[in-house]
Structure 1
Amino acid sequence: MKIVLDAGHGGHDPGAVANGLKEKDLTLCIVRHIGRLLREYEGVEVYYTRTDDRFLELSERAEIANKLKADYFISVHINAGGGTGFESYIYNGNVSNATVAYQNVIHAEIMKAIGNVRDRGKKRANYAVLRQTNMPALLTENLFIDNASDAAKLKSEQFLLQIAHGHAQGIVKAFGLKKKATTQPKDDGKLYRVQVGVFSDRKNAERLAEELKKKGYPAVIV
């Protein structure tokens, strides 16, 4: 299946700006994480409307998804206006039952992933990227950039990963995706010694030994 990820704003349009943050930067970071997570699943083709800091008209974003004949379109944004919390949108015109069902699932998974955040609800709006796309589509507003508490969360890379995880898990659950199988190396029962280097400075040797021990490997300095 084809999924198009749309990072809101870009280029000369920074989107909402406050507390040292720009919406266009946050949205791009989040969609990159979503795409990376989704590529771990079978049969998923991930496409982006933008992968760098460039401006695209709203109609161009929808056109990219339509030309690809995507199965799903999701546009990621950061809110502003003095509120707090998370909300999601589908088109306020005629939409399929699937569009509603996908919103229900993805919204719930995002709320689960981001934890103690106000749920502003599942909404509908006449947004161009929702109106002009030919496939089920969702737009998310991930906290408020002009709210000091929300902005503090948005400055955390870990929190942006949580947002992305919620989006990805929502899509996985909505579409019943299966994770790609990972092949484990066969253990032949033998033990092998690997010498990783010789150091003239004992401190460098000790530093490497500590790193190896942290990763669960036995390391002895001789």
Structure 2
Amino acid sequence: MKLYLDPGHGGSDPGAQGNGLREKDLTLDIALKLRTILENNYENIDVRMSRTSDVTKSLDQRTNEANTWGADFYLSIHINSFNGSASGYEDYIYSGLSDNSATARYRDIIHTEVMKLNQLNNRGKKKADFHVLRESTMDAMLSENGFIDNAQDAALMKQESWRLNVAQGHANGIAKAFNLAAKNTPTGGESSDRGALFKVIAGSFKQRANAEERVADLDSKGFESFIAASEISGETWYRVQAGAFSDRKNAEARLREIESKGIDAFISTD
């Protein structure tokens, strides 16, 4: 499967800006993480990126490159902006396509998987006459991963763990949509963790204030983390997530780092 991965904007075009962030930086970081996840975890996936650094590239250059290469799918990563009040995730396919098209089916799968991990409001599945959707000859989708001018969304964007989760959500969706085979699949009677996301949880609290204290403690020790509310046995718990990994060994390494600082943690795959 040939994926053309397009981090929006770049170079002289910063894209949307707000809260000390630039769209071009965020889209590139998410796309690079996404490429790494796909190449490290799945067979028969060939990823080509429109840019791998902060360079200027026109929309025509991007779609022409994807078309000439013969990509199977075009995925454009973006960050939204409006007036500071809008927030959440949405994605787009070309306005001329039906809801029953192959492109729409792929997008439906990816949308579902991204929403599982991105902690954003669901703004829905939409259509538009964007250049990269109209001029690409293969199935194409554009995702808008939060609003950079919204304080709450931007606070998430500043966390590397969130950007990794967004990349993981896209990867999970692509793997499901295109039936990608996982690397190093166990054989015989072994159990498989294929497709699992290993989350490092550094504390679970009934009081949000206690979770916020743990986040601050982790930050002072050099670990990025965020609070994720979970319903457990009918009660709301505030879990502090300090990393999410597709490879359990990487999660275990992070777990050991955190525990070496005197903080109890565990790995969750729920």
Partner SS state of residue 143, structure 1? strand
Q: 2: CA distance between counterparts of 1:156 and 1:64?
A: 32
Uncovered stretches (5+) of structure 2, i.e. residues with no partner: 187-252, 258-270
1:72 and 2:76 are equivalent in the alignment:
no
Aligned to 2:166: 163
Show structure 1 runs of 5+ residues with no match.
184-210, 216-222
**Counterpart of 1:67 in 2: which secondary structure?**
helix
Cross-structure match for 2:95 = 92
Give the 5 Å matches for 1:6-45.
Answer: 6-39=6-39, 40-45=41-46
Question: How far apart, in 1, do the equivalents of 2:60 and 2:34 lie?
Answer: 23
C-alpha offsets along residues 140-199 of structure 1, whole Å, 9 cap, x if unaligned? 00000000010000000000001000100000010111111279xxxxxxxxxxxxxxxx
| Rounded Cα–Cα distance in structure 2 between residues aligned with 1:65 and 1:133 | 7
Equivalent residue pairs, number = 186
Pairing 1:142–2:145 present: yes
Name which one, 1 or 2, has greater alpha-carbon Rg. 1
Does residue 1:125 correspond to 2:128, yes or no? yes
Q: Does 1:62 align with 2:63?
A: yes
1:206 maps to what in 2? none
Q: Which of 109, 112, 116 is residue 108 of structure 1 equivalent to?
A: 112
- The whole-number CA distance in structure 2 between the counterparts of 1:94 and 1:87 is 17
Tell me which protein shows more strand as a share of its residues: 2
Pairwise CA distance, 1:59: 1.1
2:4 aligned with 1:4 = yes
* Counterpart position of 1:188: none
One-letter amino acid matched to 1:169? N
What is the one-letter code of the residue matched to 1:65?
Answer: A
Task: Give the partner amino acid of 2:168.
Answer: H
Shift of 1:36: 0.4
Superposed CA RMSD: 1.8
Q: What residue number does 1:191 align with? A: none
Q: Secondary structure at the match of 2:54?
A: coil
3-state SS in 2 of match to 1:99:
helix
**Distance in 1 (alpha carbons) for counterparts of 2:108 and 2:185:** 31
Give, in angstroms, the shift of residue 64 of structure 1: 1.2
For the residues of structure 2 that align with 1:137 and 1:157, how far apart are their CA atoms? Answer: 26
Identity level (%): 49
Output one character per residue of 1:113-143: Cα deviation in whole Å (capped at 9) or x when no partner.
Answer: 113x210000000000000000000000000
TM-score between both structures, scaled by the size of structure 2: 0.66
Provide the residue aligned with 1:186 in structure 2: none
SS in 1 for 2:153: helix
